[in-house]
Amino acid sequence: MKKLAKMLAVLLALTLVAGLAGTAAAEDIEIHYAFWHGALEEFYNSCKADFEAAHPGVKIILEPTSWDEYWTKLEAAATGGSIADVFHMTGGNIKKYADGGVLMPLDEYIAKSDVDLANYPPAMNEMYNFRGVQYGIPMDYDTVGLWYNKTLFDQAGIAYPTSEWTWDDMIAAAKAINALGDDIYGIAANYEEQQGFYNTVYAYGGWFVDDEKFGFRDENTRAGIKCWVDLMEMGVSPSEQSLEENPAYLQFMAGKLGMIFSGDWVVADYVSADSSVSEVIDVTELPLMPNGKRASVIHGKANCVSVDTKHPEEAFAWVAYLAGAEANEKLGPMGVTITSYLAYSDRFFDAYPQYNMKIYSKAAAEYSYVYPSALNTEWTTVMWEELVKAFGLQISVDEACDNIMTRLGQ
What is the structure's pLDDT at 121?
Answer: 92
- Rounded CA-CA distance 343/338 in Å is 11
| Residue type for position 312 | P
What is the structure's pLDDT at 365?
Answer: 87
Strands 133-134, 185-187: pairing is unpaired
Domains of the chain, with CATH numbers? 26-142+299-369 (3.40.190.10), 144-296+378-407 (3.40.190.10)
Kindly tell me the burial class for residue 368, based on how many C-beta atoms sit within 10 Å of its own C-beta (0-12, 13-18, 19 or more): buried
The whole model's pTM is what?
A: 0.87
What is the structure's pLDDT at 27?
Answer: 81
Beta bridge partners of 29: 58
Mind listing the pLDDT tens digit of every residue in the chain (410 residues)?
333 333 334 333 333 333 333 333 458 999 999 999 777 888 999 999 999 999 999 999 999 999 889 999 999 999 998 999 999 999 999 999 999 999 999 999 999 999 999 999 999 999 999 999 999 999 999 999 999 999 999 999 999 999 999 999 999 999 999 999 889 999 999 999 999 999 999 999 999 999 889 999 999 999 999 999 999 999 999 999 999 999 999 999 999 999 999 999 999 999 999 999 999 999 999 999 999 999 999 999 999 999 999 999 999 999 999 999 999 999 988 888 999 999 999 899 999 999 999 999 999 989 999 999 999 889 999 999 999 999 999 999 999 999 999 999 99
Short-list 122, 147, 101, 86, CA closest to 321:
86
What is the structure's pLDDT at 26?
Answer: 53
Are 318 and 33 in contact, with CB atoms under 8 Å apart?
A: yes
- Rounded CA-CA distance 399/410 in Å is 15
C-alpha distances in angstroms, 382 versus 257, 277, 365, 388?
Answer: 29, 36, 31, 10
- Rounded CA-CA distance 178/180 in Å is 5
